[in-house]
Structure 1
Amino acid sequence: MSGSVPDCIFCKIVAGDIPAEVLARNDHAVAFRDVNPQAPFHALVVPVDHQPDAAASAAADPAVLGHMVTLADEVANASGNEDYRLVANTGAGAGQSVFHTHLHVLGATTSMTETLV
C-alpha cells in the first residue's frame, strides 16, 4: 500500500487537509508537533506515502526510513535538542494508535534513563 488512505489522519496532515504545526518537510517525509506530547519536545515524522508501520515502510522502500531519520535529526537540532530519542511503535500491542508509519522524536527531558541493552 502506498500513496494515501482516505481515513488516515496522518495522510490528511501530509496532504494539508488537517492543520498541524508542521516543523519541516522534504520530498519523502513531514515532521510536525505531537498534539499529545510525552516530553518537552515531541514531534512526529511521517512518510509522505502511507504504510501501516516501520517494517512495512522498510519492506516497500528502505530509503524512506533514512529520509525520516534525517528529518527527525533536523527538527530535533533546530529545536535545540542535540540529544533525543526516536521511537517507532509497531502494532497496537506496542502502543501504536495511528497505523501510518511514524517516528516519535523526543527531546529535552531527563526522565529518559532506561537502557535497552
Structure 2
Amino acid sequence: TDVSGTRHLVRPSGTGYVLAANHTSFFDPVLLTGTLPRRGLRPAVLAAAGLWGVPLLGRALTREGYVPVPRGDRRAGDALRAAADALAEGRGVLVYPEGGLPR
C-alpha cells in the first residue's frame, strides 16, 4: 500500500471536506488514518458496519469516531446523516467508494 500526495491536502479553514480513498488492501485504512492527523485532518470515517462484529475492533472504531454503514439496510441513512452533520460542522468525511476490498 502506498500513501502519496498527502502534502497536497490542505484543509480549508472552517469548511467541510470529503476524502475518497482507494481500498485495495487491509492496510489502507490503517495507513491513511495514521497519516491524516499529521496533516491536521481528523475526518469522520465511514466503515462497513460488519467491522463492529470483530472482537475488539468494533470498540476501537467507536472510540475513534468511525461511523458504521449497514449495507443494504434502511439504517444506512443514519451514516449519511452523520456524514452530513460532520460536513456542516466543518469537519471532513473519509469514504472508500469501492465499499470494501476488491474481489
TM-score (norm: length of structure 2) = 0.35
Higher relative contact order, chain-length normalized (CA < 8 Å, sep 6+): 2
TM-score norm. by structure 1 comes to 0.32
